[in-house]
Amino acid sequence: MSRFSITHAPHIRTKDDSTRIMFYTIIALLPAAIAGTCLFGMNSIVLMVSSIIAAVITEYLMLFMRGKKAVPADVFSAVITGMLLAMVITSATPWWMVMMGSIFAISIVKHAFGGLGFNIFNPALAARAFMLASWPVIMTTWPKPFDMATGATQLALVKSKALEMSIMNMPGHINTYWQLFIGSRGGSLGETSVIALLIGAAFLLIKGIIDWRIPVSFILTVAAISALFGADPIFHVMAGGLVLGAFFMATDPVTKPMGRAGRWIFGIGCGAITVVIRFLGGYPEGVCYAILIMNGFTPLIDRYVTDRVYGHGVKNRKNDKRHN
């Protein structure tokens, strides 16, 4: 005779706890970090190490001030924030500047809202926005790969009309695609190599760490609206920080919507805002601000766009919302 045991939820358990998930994320970032080091030199390592050290130390200090004990998830979360911040800035950034950004990310963006799991905005992107507002010249100085010279990014050239919005009619546009794909272009040290980012993204997707809905809707929206503007969609998908932002920033488990439908809305919103900033705004890249803006809409999306609860119909779900 079979025996039944009655237990409280959750009834389905997995070995992938938050610490393991964060560890997998760090592994997924390594290909892009290695590519950035190969492309932009050893200063990339200095920036990443400085950013991570500042983030981890600030994490411990904030937890101590709040009277809380540090757990592995807190440390891994700080490491990810430090890595991501270093990857979304130019390799010409001084080490002390990225440390200031990490301190801002952990103390203000994360712990001011309650710590891990309570922050409203992505800490690394918010810190990047803070650094861009504080040191705009340095933050927009883009060294070229394998070269000490600096120059404008492809998106900046498009914005300044030095490069046509549609490169399909340009001789050698396939070569341009290849340069974008391998990372032989100016940009932030962790965003230029699309192939390295896709390797890390594939790892996260296979492990089930991230949901495909946000990056797919994000990227397809940018491609579709870019085509409507008469621009080359392939160029605008691979140029800038779209791939890094779509797979590693917009999928942040704390700041993304919880429901499947909400994630589609989140991704489409990120894509639309990105294109609007790129084509109509004064700044050539919009991924950072698009994700931050949609982070602010996440609570609203979760409030009004939720998945159907098992055992409840649509009518009951609406009634439950009205009485909450």
The answer to whether position 322 is within a domain reads no
Question: What total of structural domains would you count in the chain?
Answer: 1
In a domain, 68, yes or no: yes
Give the separation between CA 324 and CA 314, rounded to whole angstroms: 16
Domain of 274, in residue numbers: 18-304
pLDDT digits (tens, 9 = 90+) for 9-39: 555 555 567 888 999 999 999 999 999 999 8
Query: What whole-number percentage of the chain has pLDDT above 70?
Result: 80
pLDDT in tens, 255-277: 999 999 999 999 999 999 999 99
pLDDT at 63 over 70: yes
Q: H/E element holding 32?
A: helix 18-40
102 part of a folded domain = yes
pLDDT averaged over every residue in the chain? 84
Q: 66 and 48 in contact (C-beta within 8 Å)? A: no
**212 within some domain:** yes
pLDDT tens digits, one per residue of 273-295 = 999 998 888 787 889 999 999 99
Q: What is the pTM of this model?
A: 0.84
Residue 319, domain member (yes or no): no
Which residues touch 15 (CB under 8 Å, ≥6 apart)?
none
**Residue 112, domain member (yes or no):** yes
Which CATH number is 46's domain given? Answer: 1.10.3430
Specify if 9 maps to a domain. no
Band the pLDDT of 159: cuts 50, 70, 90: low
| 3 assigned to some structural domain | no
The number of residues in the chain equals 324
